[in-house]
């Protein structure tokens, strides 16, 4: 027996091996069990954290504390029932912050979040107690007012006023924004199911008209929006197929009445609808993400045409119009420089026109582009000047060499002493800042004579020439008949540079 279990016996070693194996299994099992427990504990912790967060967010949108969409819909259902019982009215207001995307793009998402929180606070401060308020997406808010349409319109007006006050964001200058509001009323505008959609239709109508306003739903709005949607679909096709043409309208020297430049104005040749004005389709292209591609085509085509004229001996200064989106594009100036270089054009002979409202935007992105344009030596003109409220201090900083007086100022020159006083002030101001002034929309000899007397530098308008195709402009220039006209002659094309 002792031999059987002694240190040298086989049984002894077998028992030892078994014991070791058992120990190993036990240790491994213990380790696995411990690891599994840790994982369970970890999961439990994550679950706890998540449920705490959900708990905190439960009353509403995490960022603003307002209701989420689903709860707003429930509140609306209940309010509609109350309305039906009492035979009263209620209204849904769809509120959208104008230009919020550019706040996010140019100032970053932290500032964007601050703005949204402040907007929620402002909405809260102008709405009666118990008004259900929700944030339904990025910068879109819904308000539910258990009153009739006139009271909802008053509320919309208060929302616009509150939103127009500067927003004090941290680490930066206060931002001044605006809002748009669409209103739909129950039961006047129809069934509960369509109420929010109708408020949204009204909001879109406000946006399409430029924002900063409110509108109540009107069935015609839905019809207009369907037509617009069809036009946008056509515009998408047109952009791919390049169904565009640049027309050119001369600018005339006010003293010599010689042509100083030609402004490129885009036209869309719609296959069924004929020629469509940029005033119609450029805003659509801006809203639907097509302006980048169209704007690039304008740059290439204007440079190509300027190169062709140059090769024919017509050294025409060409101006193009830029949109807000292009001014925020990082590659705008390199693209322009490349197009100029490949057509052997000097940047100093090329002008870009930027509307006053866009020049006023004064965001980091537009500042960078202004600076890059200045470095590249491209001339900048401020278009539609006098239509907005440019800060004079800011105007001084802009590297613009030309101000284009808005045609609304030119229109009333002959009939209104006020219009004359404003036009004179604009010309004097521009000259004090060493900028040239071009008057747009000159249609009558009386307007021309007044502007010349006031010292305006250049004139543009139907009195001299309407925008025309590049071919028509070339033919006009070569035509002896026309060369006797003060507005245009072939020799004038030798150099159309006003102030290089
Ligand atoms: P804008 O740059 O201020 O151009 C002046 C507009 O006034 C042009 O309208 C022109 O045809 C019109 N006009 C010129 N002289 C007279 C006149 O004596 N009387 C009247 N009543 N109108 C006159 P158009 O060509 O329809 O262009 C409208 C606007 O569309 C332009 O205003 C410009 O802001 C924009 N646009 C045109 N082409 C482009 C483009 O290639 N890109 C961009 N982003 N915008 C463009
Ligand atoms: Mg222009
Ligand atoms: Mg203009």
pLDDT of residue 359: 78
pLDDT of residue 267: 98
139 touches 97 (CB < 8 A): yes
Instruction: Choose which residue among 252, 278, 407 to substitute to test ligand 1 binding: the one with the highest number of ligand atoms within 8 A of its C-beta.
Output: 278
Instruction: Choose which residue among 290, 298, 321 to substitute to test ligand 1 binding: the one with the highest number of ligand atoms within 8 A of its C-beta.
Output: 321
Average of pLDDT values for 469-473?
Answer: 91
Q: Residue 331 Cα, ligand 3 centroid: separation in angstroms?
A: 25
pLDDT of residue 137: 87
pLDDT of residue 306: 95
pLDDT in tens, 290-303: 999 999 999 999 99
pLDDT of residue 497: 38
pLDDT of residue 12: 53
What ligand 1 atom has the least distance to the C-alpha of 442? 18
Q: Does the beta carbon of 282 lie inside 6 Å of ligand 1?
A: yes
Ligand number nearest CA of 358 is 1
**Predicted confidence band at 324 (pLDDT cuts at 50, 70, 90)?**
confident
Q: How far apart are CA 159 and CA 117, in angstroms?
A: 15
Q: CA angle, corner 217, sides to 213 and 223, nearest 5?
A: 110
pLDDT of residue 32: 46
Q: Is the pLDDT of residue 354 over 90?
A: yes
Tell me the three-class secondary structure of the chain, residue by residue: CHHHHCCCCHHHHHHHHHHHHHHHHHHHHHHHHHHHHHHHHHHHHHHHHHHHHHHHHCCCCCCCCCECHHHHHHHHHHHHHHHHHHCCCEEEEEEEECCHHHHHHHHCHHHHHHHHHHHHHHHHHHCCCCCEEEEEECCEEEEEECCCHHHHHHHHHHHHHHHHCCECCCCCCCECCCEEEEEEEECCCCCHHHHHHHHHHHHHHHHHCCCCCEEECCHHHHHHHHHHHHHHHHHHHHHHHCCEEEEEEEEEECCCCCEEEEEEEEEEEECCCEEECHHHHHHHHHHCCCHHHHHHHHHHHHHHHHHHHHHCCCCCCEEEECCHHHHHCCCHHHHHHHHHHHCCCCHHHEEEEEEHHHHCCCCHHHHHHHHHHHHHCCEEEEEEECCCCCCHHHHHHCCCCEEEECHHHHHCCCCCHHHHHHHHHHHHHHHHCCCEEEECCCCCHHHHHHHHHHCCCEECCCCCCCCEEHHHHHHHHHCHHHHCCCCCCHHHHHCCCCCC
Q: Is the pLDDT of residue 234 over 80?
A: yes
Nearest CA to ligand 1 atom 16: 441
Q: Does the beta carbon of 443 lie inside 6 Å of ligand 1?
A: yes
pLDDT of residue 5: 40
Q: Is the pLDDT of residue 174 over 60?
A: yes
Nearest CA to ligand 1 atom 7: 441
pLDDT of residue 96: 96
pLDDT in tens, 96-129: 999 888 787 778 888 889 999 999 999 999 999 8
pLDDT of residue 320: 98
Ligand number nearest CA of 443 is 1
Model confidence, pTM: 0.71
Q: Does the beta carbon of 356 lie inside 6 Å of ligand 1?
A: no
Q: Is the pLDDT of residue 47 over 60?
A: no
pLDDT in tens, 4-27: 444 455 555 555 454 544 544 444
Share of the chain above pLDDT 90, in %: 59
Average pLDDT of the chain to the nearest whole number: 83
pLDDT of residue 7: 46
Q: Does the beta carbon of 250 lie inside 6 Å of ligand 1?
A: no
Q: Residue 213 Cα, ligand 2 centroid: separation in angstroms?
A: 26
Domains defined for the chain, CATH in brackets: 69-217 (3.30.70.270), 226-476 (3.20.20.450)
Q: Is the pLDDT of residue 182 over 90?
A: yes
pLDDT of residue 10: 55
pLDDT of residue 262: 95
Q: Is the pLDDT of residue 343 over 50?
A: yes
pLDDT in tens, 155-168: 999 999 999 999 88
Spatial CB neighbours of 278, under 8 Å, sequence gap ≥ 6: 265, 266, 267, 268, 321
pLDDT of residue 362: 66
pLDDT of residue 151: 95
Long-range contacts of 294-300 (CB under 8 A, 24+ apart): 294/239, 294/244, 294/266, 295/322, 295/323, 295/325, 295/326, 295/329, 296/335, 297/242, 297/244, 298/244, 298/246, 298/264, 298/266, 299/335, 299/336, 299/339, 300/339
pLDDT of residue 44: 41
Q: Is the pLDDT of residue 2 over 50?
A: no
Ligand 2 ion local residues (Cβ < 5 A): 321, 353, 383
pLDDT in tens, 243-269: 999 999 999 999 988 888 999 999 999
Average of pLDDT values for 30-39?
Answer: 47
Lowest-pLDDT choice from 258-267, 281-290, 355-364: 355-364
Q: How far apart are CA 287 and CA 297, in angstroms?
A: 18
pLDDT of residue 475: 76
Q: Does the beta carbon of 384 lie inside 6 Å of ligand 1?
A: yes
**Predicted confidence band at 372 (pLDDT cuts at 50, 70, 90)?**
very high
């Amino acid at each position: 027996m002792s031999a059987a279990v002694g240190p040298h016996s086989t049984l002894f070693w077998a028992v030892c091996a078994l014991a070791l194996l058992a120990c190993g299994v036990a240790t491994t099992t213990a380790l696995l069990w411990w690891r599994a427990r840790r994982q369970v504990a970890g999961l439990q912790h994550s679950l706890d954290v998540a449920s705490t967060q959900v708990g905190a967010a439960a009353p509403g949108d995490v960022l603003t504390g307002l209701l989420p969409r689903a709860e707003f819909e429930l509140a609306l259902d209940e309010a509609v029932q109350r309305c039906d019982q009492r035979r009263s009215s209620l209204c849904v207001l769809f509120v959208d912050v104008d230009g919020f995307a550019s706040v996010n793009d140019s100032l970053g998402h932290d500032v964007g979040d601050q703005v949204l929180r402040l907007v929620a606070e402002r909405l809260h401060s102008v709405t009666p107690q118990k008004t259900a308020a929700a944030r339904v997406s990025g910068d879109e808010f819904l308000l539910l007012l258990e009153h009739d349409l006139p009271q909802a319109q008053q509320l919309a007006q208060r929302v616009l006023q509150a939103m127009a006050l500067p927003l004090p964001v941290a680490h930066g200058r206060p931002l001044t924004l605006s809002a748009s509001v669409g209103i739909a009323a129950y039961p006047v505008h129809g069934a509960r199911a369509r109420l929010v959609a109708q408020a949204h239709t009204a909001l879109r109508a406000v946006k399409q008209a430029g924002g900063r306003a409110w509108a109540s739903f009107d069935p015609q709005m839905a019809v207009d929006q369907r037509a617009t949607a069809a036009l946008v679909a056509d515009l998408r096709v047109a952009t791919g197929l390049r169904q565009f043409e640049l027309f050119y309208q001369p600018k005339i020297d006010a003293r010599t009445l010689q042509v100083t430049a030609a402004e490129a104005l885009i036209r869309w040749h719609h296959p069924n609808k004929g020629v469509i004005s940029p005033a119609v389709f450029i805003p659509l292209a801006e809203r639907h993400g097509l302006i980048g591609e169209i704007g690039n085509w304008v740059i290439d085509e204007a440079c190509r045409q300027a190169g062709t004229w140059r090769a024919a001996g017509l050294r025409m200064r060409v101006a193009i119009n830029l949109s807000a989106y292009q001014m925020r594009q990082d590659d705008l100036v390199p693209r322009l420089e490349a197009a100029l270089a490949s057509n052997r054009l000097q940047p100093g002979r090329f002008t870009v026109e930027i509307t006053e409202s866009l020049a006023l935007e004064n965001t980091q992105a537009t500042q960078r582009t202004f600076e890059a344009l200045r470095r590249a030596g491209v001339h900048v003109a401020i278009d539609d000047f006098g239509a907005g409220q440019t800060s004079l201090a800011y105007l001084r900083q802009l590297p613009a060499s030309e101000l284009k007086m808005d045609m609304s100022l030119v229109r009333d020159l002959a009939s209104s002493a006020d219009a004359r006083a404003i036009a004179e002030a604009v010309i004097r101001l521009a000259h004090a800042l060493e900028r040239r002034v071009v008057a747009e929309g000159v249609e009558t000899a009386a307007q021309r004579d007044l502007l010349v007397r006031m010292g305006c530098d250049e004139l543009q308008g139907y009195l001299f020439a309407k925008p025309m195709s590049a071919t028509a402009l070339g033919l006009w220039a070569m035509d002896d008949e026309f060369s006797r006209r003060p507005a245009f002659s072939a020799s004038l094309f030798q150099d159309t540079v006003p102030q290089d």
